């Protein structure tokens, strides 16, 4: 696995750092409404941005493919985290049941 510097990774690393800070902040306040969903969303965006930065800085095809595959976990679950966070934050958390979570998690898992 070989990496080389590219200036295009700097904004992605800044986004990954900001997402990591949000994830840590929401984890410390996980008892608040919406904090677990915000944590899921922030971790997913961190994986997405950091994986994309390493994909761009990859020097060979195997490295680019590996980090491209890793970032898809973040892409798939960031939308799911956003959905759950939006539902909870809007005050409609009553619709979130075990069945709802299982059915809506199928799409990111299959992706």
**What is the structure's pLDDT at 109?**
87
Answer whether residue 91 shows pLDDT above 90: no
**What is the structure's pLDDT at 45?**
96
Question: Over the chain, what is the mean pLDDT?
Answer: 91
Q: How many CB atoms lie within 10 A of CB 60?
A: 12
Read off the pTM.
0.88
Q: How many CB atoms lie within 10 A of CB 79?
A: 14
**What is the structure's pLDDT at 6?**
86
31-63 confidence digits (pLDDT tens):
988 899 899 999 999 999 999 999 999 989 999
Question: How many residues does this entry show for the chain?
Answer: 111
């Amino acid at each position: 696995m070989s990496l080389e510097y590219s200036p295009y990774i700097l904004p992605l690393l800044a986004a990954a750092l900001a997402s990591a800070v949000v994830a840590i902040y929401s984890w410390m306040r996980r008892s608040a409404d919406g904090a677990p969903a915000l944590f899921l969303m922030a971790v997913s965006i961190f994986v997405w941005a950091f994986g994309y930065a390493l994909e761009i800085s990859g020097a060979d095809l195997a490295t680019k493919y590996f980090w491209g595959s890793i970032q898809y976990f973040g892409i798939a679950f960031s939308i799911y985290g956003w959905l759950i966070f939006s539902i909870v934050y809007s005050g409609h958390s009553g619709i979130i049941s075990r069945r709802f979570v299982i059915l809506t998690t199928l799409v990111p898992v299959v992706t």
